[in-house]
Structure 1
């Protein structure tokens, strides 16, 4: 996604908190609409948003593979790109948790980068939790005449405590009905490189998740991580399901004009 227009700042803008949007690789390459939806939600919440062009991957694939040296090099680039903002926000629990929970441990005590990483990590937030917990947003305007079910992504839930926040904002949409699936907090089987290393196990897990989703009878599946969404959407499509799959930011921002992930759903 391209950086929103910058440079035309007013005095009112100067009073707004500045947010650097960490777009994430999967959003940038596969689902830019999530990035634009994130910008809309943040601006509606009263933030001034920029998307630093120097950002790259958060380093999670390297980190999960045990490549600490390359992860540290990536972290340095990310930190340098975002140090000037009041907050760093990502529409992803997994990328957010990598930057918030793991960056400081990449550097030894006494290393100047350790202190920089700690300052950086302190201002990193997942998108929906930032809106509710930091900006105090209790609802969004809009209508959704569909029933939805929500999948709690592993990193967002277990490392960042993201669970009640997306449901609270979804409940504020007129017409929306949330139908909880069985084991909503259980992994979908994606797990980053896990699904590549252990495809059979991954497929068994996502098959169980697919049944839990379809058993709800919901029209739409939502989550806050593109990796999980692409994994579940792919399985649902292969099995002929008409469940529509979207990132929660798209729905909260009212930006659902384009086809669902993997082209599923009734549209």
Structure 2
């Protein structure tokens, strides 16, 4: 294992990136790792905490908005810059869960506010990597986070693709945008979701052609749907479920576990 391990999971909306984030955390926890782990939900949809069974009282966006409403001139009032105090408040949003910490970025209020939240994420990520040996980030769907260079500290970039042309086009655009904005990820992987095993060879060939490393496929797993419908955390999936076993192999391929 290479540490620190800082990964972002990206892709088209609905491609399965949030599910993959949860599955990678599960197999990492089951591996017996002693890593200090933080999972960051940077998707404004804010679904990851439900898959992990984490209770989030406030997101970073909510804390920032509350701070901005309450404080008019912090620099004059207490002698600290607003950025310093906002950073302090953000750390208060970190939830200590069983074996890992969790941070939900959330969505800002009003037009343009999520740009500010992304700026906060970019700033604190550079400091979080010094406190954790594993950082897993579930990014917002699409390309906006890349254009804002939210992934600048990431060394492993994982892109999910599902059986849709739009998903593959998004992955191609992500690869192009990474080059354009000079994100220096050491590894860029493709993970397929709900793609038939018979198509694995074609997916591998396409990945290498576009410039990705191929990490594996998460198969159809009825238990994931069952857990989702019943509101049960993915972390409670049995270790021998098809999705968990596939995620374990993917985790090895991306050097998250041995």
Q: TM-score, normalised by structure 2?
A: 0.31
Higher helix share: 1
- Greater relative CO, 1 or 2 (CA 8 Å, sep 6+): 2
Q: TM-score, normalised by structure 1?
A: 0.30
Higher strand share: 2
